[in-house]
Amino acid sequence: MLEYTDKEIIQGIIQQDENVLRFMYTEYFSSVKKMVRKYGGSNDDAWDLFQDSMSTLIDILEIKGESFHVSSSFKTFFVELSKRIWMKSFRNVDNKLVFNSEIVDEAIDFSEEMAADLYFENALLRAYFRNLKLLKPSCRKILRLLENERPSEVILNRMKLSSTQSVYNKKRACIKKLITLINEDPLYKNLIKHGKP
């Protein structure tokens, strides 16, 4: 496994470099898992949290840019960020738990409201992503093409559909199915019910 400097990790995340993502998974996930288990969560909770933390990191880097730096090691920062999100989430409401948020506060310098917005949006995105995976491959494909704003003609060719009307019908059927799945998703329901952390 290649080693990366903090700067290489930051660039790798911005560029979506698979090797850097694999490095982060290998090096960081076990620490996140350990922390979550310490606070009574499961391995699945840890995996959810790891994804939310990565999404939040993308938000932070988009706002701060490549000049973003942390005074601690990047791993310490990431685990603290995960801990912060964990504490903010509704999965754990034990008020007695405290953690040192200085490492994160110092680095990201976001208001509480802004941070809460990011955590909420990223949890919603995870709900969307996990239901997207439940769709048939053809539906996932058409939605991915739509995400990338491909014109109907491109979708028509790629999906081997007969007309732009059939692209429209297929798209609509897939969106309908996805919304039904999301509306039934316990995570989504929980997020909507409780609002932002």
**Interface positions with other proteins (CB under 8 A):** 2, 12-13, 15-22, 25-26, 29, 47, 50-51, 54-55, 58, 121-122, 124-126, 128-129, 132-133, 143-144, 146-148, 150, 154, 158, 172, 175-176, 178-180, 182-183, 192
Of residues 18 and 94, the one with the C-beta less far from other proteins: 18
Rounded to whole angstroms, how far apart are CA atoms 181 and 175?
10
- The nearest distance, CB 9 to other proteins, in angstroms, is 12
Q: Dihedral of the CA atoms 154, 158, 161, 163 (nearest 10)?
A: 10
Closer Cβ to other proteins, 90 or 129, answer by number: 129
Of 136 and 144, nearer to other proteins (C-beta) is: 144
> At a CB cut-off of 8 Å and minimum separation 6, what does 176 contact?
none
Minimum distance from CB of 64 to other proteins (Å)?
15
Letter string b/e over residues 67-97, b meaning 16 or more CB atoms within 10 A of that residue's CB: ebebebebeebbbbbbbbbbbbbebeeeeee
Minimum CB distance to other proteins, residue 86 (Å)? 18
Of 97 and 134, nearer to other proteins (C-beta) is 134
For residues 83 and 89, give the distance between their C-alpha atoms in angstroms, rounded to a whole number: 10
Query: Minimal distance in Å, beta carbon 91 to other proteins?
Result: 19
CB of 178 to other proteins, least distance (A): 7
65: left (phi over 0), alpha (psi -120 to 50) or beta: left
